[in-house]
Amino acid sequence: MCGIIGILGTDDVAERLVEGLRRLEYRGYDSAGVATVHDGRIERQRAEGKLNNLARKLGQEHLPGHSGIAHTRWATHGAPTEDNAHPHIIGDVVLVHNGIIENFKPLRDELLAEGRTFNSQTDTEVVGHLVAREVERGASPEAAVKAVLPRLHGAFALAIMFKSDPDLIIGARLGAPLVVGYGEGENYLGSDAIALAPLTQRIAYLDEGDWAMVRRAGVQIFDKDNNPVERPITLSGITGALIDKGNHRHFMQKEIYEQPVVVAQTLSSYLRTLEARVALPDMEFDLGSVERVAIVACGTASYVGAIGKYWIEQLARVPVEVDVASEFRYREPVLGPNTLGLVISQSGETADTLAALRHMKACGVTTAGIINVPTSSMAREVDLLLPTHAGPEIGVASTKAFTCQLAVMAALSANLARAKGRLEAAEEARLVRHLTEVPAAMNAALSHDAEIEGMAHTIAGARDVLYLGRGPDYPLALEGALKLKEISYIHAEGYAAGEMKHGPIALIDESVPVIVIAPSGPLFEKTVSNMQEVQARGGKVVLISDAEGLAQAGEGALATIEMPKVHPLIAPLVYAVPVQLLAYHVAVAKGTDVDQPRNLAKSVTVE
Ligand code: G6P
């Protein structure tokens, strides 16, 4: 799973390729590489690790060539070494690949049996050999690729160049995204429109199974049966400027601080404050007919789904099930005719979620998607797009996308409740009022940043951390643990506070900090009882609550974080802030790479 870009330019392309890769680093950053076809030769530069290592190499040694392809990698087959870095050169062919070739082993065995040798452990090199073999047998580049594509199983987006033809890049996609960009005397290929934004706004999205012959003078696109097809050219409208960190040390910090603004932006497109109503975009189906909701997502987005289950069931009395997308299809879910399938995704490209969406559609289920990237595959494929307006999220650990997704989930829950006849106008007006209070409450939560930074050093020394919550704050506890794990590498677990006594309490001693998320309200006392069970065993508690809750139960805690008093519905949005800040400051105290933690990628486009 990786990012790819190709340029057929009118001057040297290496620098522009690297600029494109910068926008694709969210797809992986284990290694990066660039290759050009120049003067009858294939030139290449690759480097292990972050893109800056490649940029440094290219700064020392210019890579000439007006035609090139480039790649940023998230390792699947083979360690993140330079040998495994793309582009891979096989004879006269050079290629980059995003995805996984699932049948690479038998293909590799076939090629090995013919005496072909491999220079990497990647599945990609197998594709290169298959194409090179066709070329060696006399096939044109077009014929070679056409012969090889049907042999590949799995998911791929490919960009392939040939030493013999510096005016050609062949692209192909199946299960991984690939777009064609149209320029002035130049043409491009890329994993997404964002990568191509500084080069062109004119984008055509390739369909599943499409492949394309990209030349400077024009682009020919073929479908999976090799019929020539036209794919509409759309204007991406994506800014060419790279997003910067502003005054912040990390993107994650900047994105945590942006939340009051982007949540307000998101809410403003779902709330009709004057009419005191919640409104969704126009849709072609009747929400009132929904009898069940199946929510599917991965990672942080899946916890939005888990919180949504509480909200939808409480407000609309419609049963909800939530699955992590990698499990969904394989458990053969029962999807009835009046089920609404709901996917949640920041990127709109996560392979597991996309596959689940397609499965739901194939089962005839009406689908909706809470999605941040409006040009993404999921955004284009859902029946009802419920956009979040978080803006580009760069930090790998999701923060502002999470709270914007929650804002949309709250609006959806209220709409569904109204459509089911379960939300009186007065109650709806109250919900709207509570939701409009969220940005200010988030600002109040942010004002505790310095205190949270102060306690981060204590947590940074821990080996294990537990997070506890009840009701909708239980999935928030799971999210808190995920945030801490992914950026500080400290082992953390989230638990339903009441479940502690059924096992995890055995872990408690004075070395295990326990973060308790407990807004005052109907579940407060029960959560506090569970917290006291921890304290009775020497556990060190950090209690996150409002003034009322802290006055009641703050005594004896290692630390407390005071939140504004909010309605239980919006508590997860507001309490997300200290949870994110805590993970952030612990990671900074530990000196980890906050924005690009090891082994992770922002958008995981392999299953
Ligand atoms: C990756 C990221 C997570 C993210 C998950 C789902 O694992 O590291 O931060 O929550 O993918 O991503 P999506 O783009 O579908 O929301």
Task: Evaluate if residue 564 carries a pLDDT over 70.
Answer: yes
Give me the pLDDT at residue 178, please.
95
At the fourth CATH level, the homologous superfamily of domain 3-235 is Aminohydrolase, N-terminal nucleophile (Ntn) domain (3.60.20.10)
Find the mean pLDDT for residues 404-422. Answer: 98
Residue with tokens 């709250």: 410
Q: What is the reported pLDDT for 297?
A: 98
- Domain 247-436: CATH architecture, name and number where available: 3-Layer(aba) Sandwich (3.40)
Reported as type and span, the H/E element at residue 255 is helix 251-257
pLDDT of residue 243: 73
Among protein residues, the one with the nearest Cα to ligand 1's atom 3 is: 299
Residues 98, 462: Cα–Cα separation, whole Å: 37
Helix orientation angle between 259-268 and 438-446, rounded to the nearest 10 degrees: 170
Å from CA of 74 to ligand 1 middle: 14
Residue labelled with tokens 């802030």? 577
- Given a cut of 80, whether residue 429 has pLDDT beyond it is yes
Q: So what's the pLDDT on residue 571?
A: 96
pLDDT of residue 503: 87
pLDDT digits (tens, 9 = 90+) for 133-159: 999 999 999 999 999 999 999 989 999
Closest Cα partner for 572 from 503, 475, 500? 475
Q: Name the CATH superfamily, with its identifier, for domain 447-607.
A: Glucose-6-phosphate isomerase like protein; domain 1 (3.40.50.10490)
Report DSSP state, residue 264. Answer: H
Q: pLDDT tens across 484-528, in order?
A: 999 999 999 999 999 988 988 888 888 999 999 999 999 999 999
One fold for 3-235 and 247-436: no
Ligand 1 nearest-atom number relative to CA 397: 9
Task: Read off the pLDDT of residues 80-137 as tens digits, 9 standing for 90 and up.
Answer: 899 999 999 999 999 999 999 999 999 999 999 999 999 999 999 999 999 999 999 9
What pLDDT sits at residue 569?
A: 87
Q: What tens digit of pLDDT does each residue of 270-286 get?
A: 999 999 999 999 888 89
Furthest CA-CA distance within the chain:
81
In this predicted structure, the answer to whether residue 175 has a pLDDT above a threshold of 90 is: no
Domain ranges across the chain: 3-235, 247-436, 447-607
DSSP 67-122: EEEEEEE--SSS-S-TTTPSPEEETTEEEEEEEEETTHHHHHHHHHHTT---SSS-
Rounded to whole angstroms, the Cα distance separating 500 from 516 reads: 12
Return the percentage of the chain with pLDDT > 70, whole number. 100
DSSP state of 189: E
Query: What pLDDT does 76 receive?
Result: 81
pLDDT digits (tens, 9 = 90+) for 345-369: 999 999 999 999 999 999 999 999 9
Predicted local distance difference test score (pLDDT) of residue 1: 64
Catalytic site residue 2?
yes
| Confidence label for 435 from pLDDT (cuts 50, 70 and 90) | very high
Q: Is the pLDDT of residue 221 over 70?
A: yes
User: Given ligand 1 and candidates 26, 29, 298, 373, which is best to mutate, with the most ligand atoms within 8 Å of its CB?
Assistant: 298
Report CA(603)–ligand 1 centroid distance (Å): 6
Computed over every residue of the chain, the mean pLDDT equals 94
Average pLDDT for 555-581 = 95
Q: Amino acid letter at 195?
A: A
18-34 per-position pLDDT tens digit: 999 998 988 888 999 99
Pocket of ligand 1 from Cβ distances under 6 Å? 298-301, 345-347, 350, 353, 396-398, 600, 602-604
- Please identify which of the residues 400, 420, 483, 602 carries the catalytic annotation: 602
Question: Which atom of ligand 1 is nearest to 347's Cα?
Answer: 14
pLDDT band at residue 398, thresholds of 50, 70 and 90? Answer: very high
Atom 5 of ligand 1, nearest CA residue: 299
pLDDT exceeds 90 at position 245: no
Q: Which run of H or E residues covers position 257?
A: helix 251-257
Query: What's the pTM?
Result: 0.86
Tokens of 173: 């996609």
Ligand 1 centroid from CA 286, angstroms: 30
Band of residue 312 on the pLDDT scale cut at 50, 70, 90: very high
Asked if residue 521 lies in contact with residue 572, where contact means CB atoms within 8 angstroms, the answer is no
**211 within 8 A of 194, measured Cβ to Cβ:** no
Which of the listed residues 300, 486, 594 should we mutate to test ligand 1's pocket, taking the one with most ligand atoms within 8 A of CB? Answer: 300
Above 70 in pLDDT, residue 556? yes
- CA 116/CA 129 separation, integer angstroms: 8
Marked catalytic residue, from 2, 483, 485, 540: 2
Q: How many helices (H) and strands (E) does the chain have?
A: 20, 27
pLDDT value of residue 290: 97
To the query of whether residue 404 is one of the catalytic residues in this protein, the response is no
- Ligand 1 center to residue 279 CA distance, Å? 27
Q: CB of 534 within 8 A of CB of 504? A: no
b/e per residue, 367-380, with b = 16+ CB within 10 A?
bbbbbbbebbbbbe
Can you tell me which atom of ligand 1 is nearest the CA of 600? Answer: 8
Mean pLDDT over 47-51 rounds to: 94
Task: Report, in this order, helix, strand and coil percent for the chain, each rounded to 5.
Answer: 40, 25, 35
Q: How many CB atoms lie within 10 A of CB 301?
A: 26
Give me the half-sphere count of Cα atoms (radius 13 Å) on the Cβ side of residue 91. Answer: 17
CB 309 within 8 A of CB 322: yes
